[in-house]
A and B are shown apart, each in its own frame.
Chain A
């Protein structure tokens, strides 16, 4: 995951700032796959992730005036997406018991991951990640998918570096427990 500035990225940003939506569309194409990967990792839900990614781009477009020229676009964009994802968790946690019922029913259904067209190991890995408490999961994804420093994760999630450290440790420990046979 390189964060280097694409050769024409500053130009695209400048054009988009002037209201050139086609230029912004190009920025979308350049960044959407990577952003979607991060949000899918954090949410474990492609549909929700697509909504969040869409919203992230729209907010980025509106806030382009505040984007510092010359900086790589992706980290800024992914900061927005992280915040929206954390918002999403919060909203989801407020849902009523109806959701619990749905969840129970879903838990009874065969295997929701069957729908995935992923390699077997990858499917198991993602299922284990998805089963993590969301706070652990978010830290783990920001660290491993996004390669962020502890400090950057702390700042994005508004938690202390020590908390990042302990959550990452717990996430890894839980995942190793779940996936130990794959990791031998």
Chain B
């Protein structure tokens, strides 16, 4: 085997799928010409794919009969369908827009005894399978071409219910109350509340049915061919708590940024007390169809903006109520980002970039809650901040904080300069929270220029990837932890030369040394 084979071996899988750049494709192809070993390895991968194509090509009829009977039985329990107000165009809905309040002030609560993620797949068995060729299984493989368009709808369908249900429970108030007696062991929000364990969607699921994913054009719902207007109209009592069959009106308007005057997209507009709502389009326009005539409160919410409520909005039969509003950037946008709350020896502390309430360093064990948004923001601390977060908190307490984060958040999201952490209760694709969290975080949060913040974030990434590796043995994360450690070690060496607090640097070094990053 030529000595540079390893360089090619790593690329064979990608090559097989034709996913390398043209230059690399040619490079690998040239190597395969002269290297029997790599050519053989590629052949094996091809055969592996063929084997996969031939695996489980059919099921015993009894299995399929049982399955369809079970589905039929479950369907029978389903309530009759209520046709939606308008067909959703299945545009992926950015999930952050429902989480305004979460981003406005996030306190992470440390759950003692968190569970990490273990591979559980291997403990199950396959039974009752037999190779049975079904004609439908033997059609030529054709990659789906346009699944992107339906993906959003599916994501929405699976997840909105749990979000709708769990939102009130995770919606933070400005100050999370920490149970001082119970300390770290007492989460403000019980894990069971944060996590979706419901096997089936409840009737609340339908609450989101009327929330359009997209407002087409001027917002007129155009009945699809072959469908009548009457069929497409929602049954008012099904969508609101108002009385039966009230005459319908419409609410429309434009949401603009108070500071810039520009239209705000993605703002969630909800009609309180009903299941009606809409999202603003790219120009900030929205329309909510078929609102039973009455008087409502209309709530506008978006990440990074203060929630606006228009009270007592009248909706009259066959009339359009104009409800244009302006929204003011929330404190998140004003720089008051970094905030740590908790208590030490019975003293509450509240650290923010406007100052530190607790002057003393906080013992790690006492840190109960922290503002993840602030911790992760790449925005530099305001000049008034006497210390950065990492100098305020001992390194090992940061560890605690990160552990809490993994349990609490499943992803970080960003749009423009708005950012948000999505709690795990909002789970869409519930893979490992940590994995999603770290993956998404790394993609959206550039390393800050400020060295102290840079150290913080690098340490976080080492930790996050290492914990992920420990939890499920995925060596990909070990490799990532290593590379972040390398970056951090380099930075620590640099900082030592530039007069940074050496004791502090040593603290980081010791923490890094404790991690076993060898395979």
Contact = CB atoms under 8 A, between A and B. Distances in A.
Task: Decide whether A and B assemble into one complex.
Answer: yes
Contacts of B304: none
Nearest to B84: A65
Interface in A151-184: 151-152, 155-160, 163, 165-170, 172-173, 175-176, 179-180, 182-184
Given A71-B150, A135-B435, A47 B90 contact: no
Interface stretch (B103-111, B140-148, B390-398): B140-148
Most buried by B among A60, A79, A165: A79
Interface in A130-151: 130-135, 137, 140-141, 143-151
Interface in B119-167: 119-131, 134, 136-137, 139-151, 153-159
Contacts of B36: none
Nearest to B210: A65
A147 B16 CA distance: 13
Given A65-B88, A84-B158, A147 B142 contact: yes
A126 B131 CA distance: 12
B51 interface: yes
B66 interface: yes
B253 interface: no
B257 interface: no
A70 to B, nearest CB: 10
B439 A134 contact: no
Nearest to A178: B48
A33 B126 contact: no
A86 B159 CA distance: 13
Given A36-B67, A75-B144, A125-B52, A43 B431 contact: no
A48 B476 contact: no
A134 to B, nearest CB: 4
Nearest to A169: B13
A32 B68 contact: yes
B428 A158 contact: yes
Nearest to B124: A45
A107 B55 CA distance: 24
Contacts of B47: 182-183
Interface string B216-229: 00000000101100
Contact of A86 (B12, B14, B430): B430
A80 B154 contact: yes
B63 A62 contact: no
Contacts of B127: 46-47, 115-116
A130 B121 contact: yes
Nearest to A63: B157
B185 interface: no
B306 interface: no
Given A44-B126, A93-B115, A183 B48 contact: yes
A126 B55 contact: yes
B64 interface: yes
A71 B145 CA distance: 10
B8 interface: no
B75 A125 contact: no
Given A68-B88, A150-B19, A54 B145 contact: no
12 contacts: A40-B126, A50-B70, A55-B200, A57-B71, A86-B431, A115-B126, A134-B119, A135-B431, A146-B144, A150-B17, A173-B13, A176-B41
Interface of B: 10, 12-14, 16-17, 19, 41, 43-45, 47-49, 51-59, 63-64, 66-68, 70-72, 74-76, 78, 80-81, 83-84, 87-90, 115-131, 134, 136-137, 139-151, 153-159, 196-197, 199-201, 205-206, 209, 213, 224, 226-227, 231, 411, 427-433, 435-436, 439-440, 443, 472-476
